Amino acid sequence: MTNQPSRAGAIARAADHYASGAFLAELSRRVAIRTESQSADRGAELRAYLTDEMVPTLQAQGFGSTIVENPVSGRGPFLVAERREDPDLPTVLVYGHGDVVLGHEGKWRDGMDPWTVTVDGDRWYGRGIADNKGQHSVNIAALAQVMAERGGRLGFNAKILIEMGEEAGSPGLRAMAEANRDLLAADVLIASDGPRVIAGRPTVFLGSRGALNFDLSITLREGGHHSGNWGGLLANPGTILANAIASLIDQHGCIKLDALKPPPIPPAVKTAIADLTVGGGPNDPEIDRDWGEPGLTPEERVFGWNALEVLAFETGNPRAPVNAVPPSAMATLQLRFVVGTDPQAALAAIRAHFDANGFQQVQLSTSRMETFAATRLDPTDPWVGWALDSLARTTGKKPALLPNLGGSIPNDVFSEALELPTIWVPHSYPACSQHAPNEHMLGSVAEEALRIMAGLFWDLGETGPSIREARAR
């Protein structure tokens, strides 16, 4: 008598895929492709990651693939792969990005090569291994294990979108999605990016804070003037700009301009956040508990509120100061914002505030980085409870539910342009050194993630139709 396909069988296959070394081999092959989207010289590698690595892998799983050119000139292409089993079954869209930040060769500890996976205990080092090659590799491998357990079927339809420009602000992603709505049509997005709330706790998040970067600058004259001869007679642009910034945020990190604050935290969001704890990991910085909006917990400040950060400030020559009143000053600020904040209205409010308070000389402009919108799926959506139940069943742990990630991802493309419910299951952790030298993934998290996603995709084939029907009521 043959064993019947089962959820436990799919999860066991996922665990075996890890234990056999097959997953590490897949990941090593992908990390070796130098897909730095922030470098103008990596166009061939960005394309090769799709054509030479992703297409053959997905073809072996029964996916047909289409390379979609980026509508933004000079930017990396997109891969859309599809496996259609039955038009009456639910369709999942799985997203990932194959591009990475700069490798920072020569800056990794012990001379490690960022393009070669190095295993040191539970840590797997390599550029992009956490962000995002390791994460979408988990999901693609889990789909394969479910298919193997079901005898060559998933039990649902699947589409996979891989972009090659997320680390450069996802140029062209929204335009591509809007132009290919039918190609990307689905019932739910299930994707992985960003960190868990802590390494040992499975996590689901439903969107992300938005990010608005803007520049402030002031130029009063040509060239500097000796501070002994002219100090006290010439307006100092550094002083003026420092005071302009201080009119927006105080010395404790509390936003002073009401137009930059969000609406009150919704009750369902507040309830979800109450179950979270930020920080406390071995490599996490110590939280400054008196920083930010008073009356909020640290968790509410990062997941339910806005944060205004000064990213850079320069006046004169900081590396070699001279005794001169500088002619100019500039700063770059960032507003991380939750749902309910309009970034364009925020910029207009800053301009009006400066004009009304004697800072007319301060110029305000958006930075070159694209503005990510704030998004958040309703925590009471049927897909949310379904995902949390699946993770709990697989791991025996209570998953963390983040109403939105503290950072920013292009989730608005899926939630707004494609109008999808969005479920994100991250496979990294806060101290992974993402974007820095020594980026790594925890092997223990990768193993658990493979089992989690195998269970989740198995459940999609079993109960996905009923969840889709419940959401349509």
Q: How confident is the model at residue 368 (pLDDT cuts 50, 70, 90)?
A: low
Contacts of 288 (CB under 8 A, 6+ apart): 253
CB 268, CB 381: distance < 8 Å: no
Instruction: Check whether 111 has a pLDDT greater than 70.
Output: yes
* Residues contacting 16, CB < 8 A, separation 6+: none
The chain-wide mean pLDDT, for the chain, equals 96
The span from the CA of 245 to the CA of 228, in Å, is: 27
Dihedral sign from CA coordinates of 376, 378, 382, 386:
positive
CA 27 to centroid of chain Cα atoms? 20
Cα distance between residue 7 and residue 4, in whole Å: 10
Contacts of 199 (CB under 8 A, 6+ apart): 281, 429, 430, 431, 442, 444, 445
Place of tokens 């889990």: 142
**Cα 343 to chain centroid, rounded:** 19
Beta bridge partners of 83: 158
- Taking the CA atoms of residue 190, residue 101, residue 309 and residue 313 in that order, the dihedral angle to the nearest 10 degrees is -170
What's the whole-number mean pLDDT along residues 99-107?
A: 97
Write out pLDDT tens, residues 160-209.
999 999 999 899 999 999 999 999 999 999 999 999 999 999 999 999 99
The Cα 344–Cα 341 span in angstroms is 9
Residue type, 285: P
- Domains recognised in the chain with CATH numbers: 7-208+374-472 (3.40.630.10), 210-262+306-366 (3.30.70.360)
Nearest to 449 by CA among 466, 464, 432: 432
Supply the pLDDT for residue 472. 87
- Which pLDDT does position 59 carry in this prediction? 98
DSSP result, 242-310: HHHHHTTB-TTS-B--GGGSPPPPPHHHHHHHTT-----STTPPPP-TTSSSTTS-HHHHHHSS-EEEE
pTM of the model: 0.90
> What share of the chain in percent tops pLDDT 70?
99
Strands 91-97 and 188-191: parallel
Rounded CA-CA distance 208/185 in Å is 21
Q: Measured between alpha carbons, how far is 411 from 191 in angstroms, rounded to an integer?
A: 10
Please write the tens of the pLDDT for every residue from 53-69.
999 999 999 999 999 99
Average pLDDT score over residue span 69-98? 97
The first and second tokens of residue 267, run together, are: 């009750």
Which tokens belong to 461? 């084939």
Write down the pLDDT at residue 281: 74
Distance CA 66, CA 58 (A): 11
Six token digits for residue 425: 């299951």
In the numeric block, the tokens 């990016």 are attached to 193
Determine the Cα–Cα distance for residues 313 and 215; give it in Å rounded to an integer. Answer: 10
**Coarse DSSP helix, strand, coil percentages of the chain, rounded to the nearest 5 percent:** 35, 20, 45
Overall average pLDDT of the 257-285 stretch: 91
List, in sequence order, every residue forming a beta bridge with 375; answer none if it has no partner: 208
Q: What pLDDT does 369 receive?
A: 56
CA distance 392 to 401: 12
pLDDT of residue 279: 81
Report the range of poorest mean pLDDT among 96-100, 155-159, 275-279, 376-380. Answer: 275-279
How big is the chain, counted in residues? Answer: 473
For residue 27, what pLDDT band results from cuts at 50, 70 and 90? Answer: very high
Q: What per-residue confidence (pLDDT) applies to 453?
A: 98
CA 340, CA 325: separation in Å to the nearest integer?
42
Terminal-to-terminal C-alpha distance of the chain: 42
Q: What is the pLDDT of residues 300-328, one digit of tens each?
A: 999 999 999 999 999 999 999 999 999 99
Provide the pLDDT confidence category of residue 1 given band limits of 50, 70 and 90.
Answer: very low
Strands 157-163 and 91-97: parallel
Residue 7's SS3 state is helix
